């Protein structure tokens, strides 16, 4: 992921420097376990543990010759070990995937914890914003067309619960990726005792794979990336709502617009929904990683490395982009400007057409057939659409022509926007408990 969209904490998790720190940690723990079992000399552990991780530049220099990243790492680390002879016992009984998959599991758990913290923050921001606007009337839209009265808090509550579910999926996926293996070539423990694997897993806070065939099956990692994609797409849903709400014709919502900010190089009046558009674009990048990672599940026999090159790109990009999306969406929600007056004006802009379904129900209660009532109300509605006259007036005229009596006082009672949201208190009570 390019630096523009990489936040420092997550960027550190996927840096080469941190990767080599984790590789050193794994190799040292394996060496400690061997020494405890008497498999390797105990005196080699401390020099290896004290050796600083190699630099990314030195590993790259060696890899240019060896064309093997793990061998390059081991060689560069051995150069940092005093006495160098102690490094001869490093990687004893292991195969490359033991190191790579175990360190990757630790890396993905670290990344997940960062994402979970940011998801908690966004859930809280959405919850608080929805509760603040539990009585802010607006028109509900279907197909982009005015439907019936609603409140803005209702719409945001949907996002809050959706993001909370995404966070909970990610919590479960944390367990799915926290899986390691130190089982040797083709995963049969032929050169390494299973107790070594258990020792490493316990100290790194990971779980041993149910089965390792030299590599850990990629179903858990695929689940994790899929959870990131869902989370990113919920962020996109929030951003898309803001984009629609900020259109000139709507003008109900506004992104935060800072002092000195510019909307257009050519048109000084512009205040564009750039945060929301960026969120929508970045979500595509996260979703794009799902299929490449999932295709790492089927490998040739006990192991190949067709998954390796994909994961070097897809896993950091998915995590870094999701981290940025959660950060950006929290910023969007926390600074969102809601024009309550404009919401009410838009609600009233169709001259009462949004009460058509209520009118249908009320007239059916008088004993008329649904077909006749629907025809009457639709005819009145179409006249209002065309002429811009009051729906109540066109309704009276149509009813008079058809000999249908209207109870004006009853219609006044049921055609109030507050009536349409009277049953949402339970929703907001549940929302207030969301954490």
What are the tens digits of pLDDT across the range 234-282? 999 999 999 999 999 999 999 987 666 666 556 666 688 899 999 999 9
Task: Tell me what pLDDT residue 113 has.
Answer: 98
What are the tens digits of pLDDT across the range 401-431? 988 888 888 888 888 999 999 999 999 999 9
Token digits for 229? Answer: 């994609």
Query: How many other CB atoms are there within 10 angstroms of residue 131's CB atom?
Result: 16
pTM equals 0.92
Task: Tell me what pLDDT residue 407 has.
Answer: 86
339 and 377 co-located in one domain: no
What are the tens digits of pLDDT across the range 69-120? 999 999 999 999 999 999 999 999 999 999 999 999 999 999 999 999 999 9
281 and 246 co-located in one domain: yes
Is a pLDDT exceeding 80 seen at residue 369?
yes
Task: Tell me what pLDDT residue 49 has.
Answer: 97
123 and 236 co-located in one domain: yes
Contacts of 241 (CB under 8 A, 6+ apart): 155, 159, 253
Our measurement of the distance from residue 20's CA atom to the centroid of its chain's CA atoms, rounded to an integer in Å, reads 28
What are the tens digits of pLDDT across the range 306-318? 898 999 999 999 9
Q: In whole angstroms, give the CA distance from residue 343 to residue 305.
A: 56
Domain with 276 in it: 94-344
E strands, 51-122, are none
Domain boundary among 62, 92, 122: 92
- β-strands 179-180, 137-142: how paired? unpaired
Q: Are 428 and 157 in contact (CB under 8 A)?
A: yes
Instruction: Identify whether 203 is preceded by a cis peptide bond (ω within 30 of 0).
Output: no
Domain boundary among 308, 324, 344: 344
CATH number, domain containing residue 43? 1.10.275.10
Token digits for 188? Answer: 């049969």
CATH number, domain containing residue 201? 1.20.200.10
CA–CA distance from 212 to each of 69, 90, 92, 197 (Å)? Answer: 21, 21, 18, 11
The stretch 145-157 carries a mean pLDDT of 96
Closest by alpha carbon to 158, among 108, 106, 123, 184? 123
Domain boundary among 287, 318, 344: 344
Contacts of 300 (CB under 8 A, 6+ apart): 306
- Catalytic residue annotation: 143, 264
Closest by alpha carbon to 362, among 398, 407, 402? 407
Task: Look at the chain and count its residues.
Answer: 435
Structurally, the chain folds into a number of domains equal to 3
Tell me, yes or no, whether 387 lies in a domain.
yes
Tell me, yes or no, whether 388 lies in a domain.
yes
Task: Tell me what pLDDT residue 368 has.
Answer: 80
| pLDDT over 70, % of the chain | 97
């Amino acid at each position: 992921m390019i630096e523009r969209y990489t936040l420092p904490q997550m960027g550190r998790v996927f840096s080469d420097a941190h990767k080599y720190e984790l590789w050193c940690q794994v190799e040292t723990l394996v060496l400690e376990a061997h020494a405890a079992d008497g498999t390797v000399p105990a005196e080699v552990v401390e020099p290896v543990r004290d050796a600083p991780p190699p630099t990314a530049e030195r590993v790259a220099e060696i890899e240019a010759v060896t064309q093997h990243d793990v061998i390059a790492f081991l060689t560069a680390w051995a150069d940092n070990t005093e006495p160098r002879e102690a490094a001869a016992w490093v990687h004893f009984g292991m195969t490359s995937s033991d190191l790579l998959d175990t360190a990757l599991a630790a890396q993905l758990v670290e990344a997940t914890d960062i994402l979970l913290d940011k998801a908690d923050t966004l859930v809280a921001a959405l919850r608080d914003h929805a509760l603040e606007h539990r009585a802010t009337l607006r028109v509900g839209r279907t197909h982009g067309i005015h439907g019936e009265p609603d409140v803005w808090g209702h719409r945001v509550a949907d996002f809050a619960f959706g993001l909370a579910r995404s966070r909970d999926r990610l919590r479960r996926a944390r367990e799915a990726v926290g899986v390691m293996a130190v089982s040797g070539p083709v995963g049969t423990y032929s050169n390494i005792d299973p107790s070594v694997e258990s020792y490493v897993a316990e100290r790194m806070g990971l779980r041993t794979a149910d089965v390792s065939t030299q590599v850990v099956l990629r179903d858990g990692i695929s689940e994790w990336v899929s959870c990131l994609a869902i989370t990113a797409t919920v962020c996109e849903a929030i951003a898309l709502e803001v984009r629609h709400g900020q259109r000139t014709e709507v003008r109900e919502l506004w992104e935060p617009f800072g002092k000195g900010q510019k909307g257009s190089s050519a048109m000084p009046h512009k205040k564009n929904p750039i945060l929301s558009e960026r969120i929508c674009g970045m979500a595509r990048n996260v979703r794009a990683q799902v299929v490449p990672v999932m295709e790492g599940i089927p490998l040739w026999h006990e192991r190949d490395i067709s998954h390796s090159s994909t994961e070097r790109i897809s896993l950091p990009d998915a995590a870094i982009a999701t981290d940025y999306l959660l950060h950006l969406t929290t910023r969007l929600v926390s600074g969102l400007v809601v024009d309550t007056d404009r919401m009410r004006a838009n609600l009233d802009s169709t001259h009462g057409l949004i009460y058509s379904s209520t009118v249908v129900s009320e007239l059916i209660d008088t004993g008329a057939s649904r077909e006749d009532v629907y025809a009457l109300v639709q005819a009145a509605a179409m006249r209002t659409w065309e002429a811009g006259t009051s729906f109540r007036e066109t309704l009276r005229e149509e009813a008079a022509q058809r000999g249908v009596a209207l109870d004006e006082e009853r219609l006044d009672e049921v055609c109030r926007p507050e009536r349409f949201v009277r049953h949402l208190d339970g929703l907001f009570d549940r929302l207030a408990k969301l954490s």
